[in-house]
Amino acid sequence: MGGHTRVIRKYGALLAALMVAAGGCSSKNGGAGSGAGRLKIVFWHTQTDDNARALAELVRRYNATNRLGVTVEALYQGNYDDIFRKTMAAVQGGKLPDIAVAYESMVAEYMRAGVVLPLDDLVNGPNGLSKQDLKDIEPAFLATNRFPQFGNKLLSFPFTKSVLVMYSNLDALRAAGFSQPPKTWSEFWRAARAVTKRDPSGGPGVRGLIISANASTIDGWFYSNGGRLLTPDRKRVLFNEPPCVEVFSGIRSLVDAGAAYLTQERDYQMEFGAGRGVLFCGSSTQRNYFREAVAGKFRWAISNIPQRDPKHPITVLYGANLAIFRSNPQRQAAAWDFVKWLSQKEQTAFWAIRSSYMPIRRSVANMPEMLEAWKKDPQGKQAFDVIRYAVPEPNVRGWQDVRTYLEEALQAVVSGTDSAKGALDKAAEKANQALASKA
């Protein structure tokens, strides 16, 4: 009893002090740094680590140089799931920022809530983009931000873009008689088998293809084998047609031959780096992690994913965009000014060099700093050369669910619980329901 009271007394004072300190240390938006007479706009993002430092530097430069007297406050709001939940909370509760990073599916949800500012008038307005600018920005990067279900308006602007590519272990391919990464699907199936080596002592050996069940990769594979994902009216899916089924059947055959295997999370980076898997299809953004995993043990390269028709290659885009939320004309103009500034050549190059995202403009390829950066990051240039073949993935409402069904279908095929056709038929049925319910 006495001890009990003593302990409470002893720590009571400490607790009281902490509570007072906690209550008194509140911080309000719009405090230090905004400066008298400057308009402060808030930018929510998901960037961490090196990318966050690069973004902070860009924001610092903009704040120091813009002529509108705008101060951008860049605030980290967690990963994409977190920022989506926070933005949806803010849609209902208030406190929306001026700009937020968002995938197309998120932009569609925000637009449905009526909070997104269409950008067409700003792009074509007095502080807009010139024809030359619009020609310079990769068309697919803009196309992915146009939403057919909302009058084909430009609702967001490209920001953290990347492209679906194939990572190849060149040394392993060469040892199996392939002087370069496979370009066609038939070469791809052959190469994956040819490089596969069983370890007689029971070790992991070497296998041709590392699989990650990622819907964007699946979308890209289907496109590049001549498949289609949606009907022209975007109401039904078409991925249970022969070209798509063929891809899944091919993967099943590889798995049966011990030439392909599924990995979880981002284990594929380590598997590739350890030389256990030779080919992998995924986002170009990951190349720095692949480089660390390879650690100079072998030569590797990035190229486009395998194609049915190499004369008309195709792949898909990845990455998020910037959405501007409705507020008042002054804030909206300021937000656009920042978004536009970010898309200019110098900033695009800086962002591409410091982050591992793709530059959104073609002209940066000739800038000395970009060429210098690509000397250390040759795979960055290889990925950049693939962008011109990239097309957007569907951005209709409900596609987020469809992605899950596609990933489940691939897992079912790899694990052997379903045939390629059966798994894709089931996925298509669920997908059509999802699209119908969110139409």
Partner 1 sequence: MKPANKPKYLRELVRRAACHAVLASGCVVMVFPFYWMLVTSLKGQSEAQMLPPMLWPVKPQWVNFAEVFKAVPMARYLMNSLGIAVVVTAATIVTSAMAAHAFARIQFPGRELAFGLFLATMMIPFEVILIPDFILVHRLGWYNTYAALIVPWCASVFAIFLLRQSFMTIPTELHEASLLDGCSHLRYLWSVALPLATPSLITVGIVSFLGSWNSLLWPLVVTDTPELRPVQVGLAYFTTEAGTKYHLAAAAATVSILPIVALYLAAQRHFVEGIARTGLKS
* Residue 155 burial (CB count, 10 A): 25
Q: Which is nearer to partner 1, 156 or 307 (CB)?
A: 156
- What's the rounded Cα separation, in Å, for the pair 439 and 235? 8
Rule CB under 8 A: say whether 26 interacts with partner 1. yes
Rule CB under 8 A: say whether 82 interacts with partner 1. yes
Interacting span for partner 1 (CB under 8 A) from 80-88, 135-143, 231-239, 428-436: 80-88
Minimum Å distance from CB 27 to partner 1? Answer: 5
Binding to partner 1 (CB under 8 A): which residues in 30-59? Answer: 42, 46-49, 51-52
What single string gives the DSSP state of each residue in 244-270?
HHHHHHHHHHHHHTT-EEE--TTHHHH
Minimum Å distance from CB 425 to partner 1? Answer: 32
Angle among Cα 62, 64, 67 to the nearest 5 degrees reads 75
Q: Which is nearer to partner 1, 93 or 329 (CB)?
A: 93
Minimum Å distance from CB 437 to partner 1? Answer: 20
- What's the rounded Cα separation, in Å, for the pair 142 and 248? 30
Chain centroid offset of residue 238 CA? 24
What single string gives the DSSP state of each residue in 66-119?
-TT-EEEEEEE--SHHHHHHHHHHHHHHS---SEEEE-HHHHHHHHHTT-BPP-
Rule CB under 8 A: say whether 285 interacts with partner 1. yes
Angle among Cα 182, 395, 43 to the nearest 5 degrees reads 105
Binding letters toward partner 1, positions 352-391, x by CB under 8 A: ----x-----------------------------------
Query: Is residue 282 within 8 Å of 165, Cβ to Cβ?
Result: yes
Minimum Å distance from CB 295 to partner 1? Answer: 4
Query: Is residue 41 within 8 Å of 331, Cβ to Cβ?
Result: yes
Of the residues 37, 65, 67, 92, which one makes contact with partner 1 according to CB under 8 A: 92
Of the residues 36, 37, 93, 202, which one makes contact with partner 1 according to CB under 8 A: 93
Where on the chain is the footprint of partner 1 (CB under 8 A)? 1, 4, 15, 18-19, 21-23, 25-29, 42, 46-49, 51-52, 75-80, 82, 85-86, 88-90, 92-95, 160, 266, 269-271, 273-274, 276, 283, 285-286, 288-289, 292-293, 295, 356
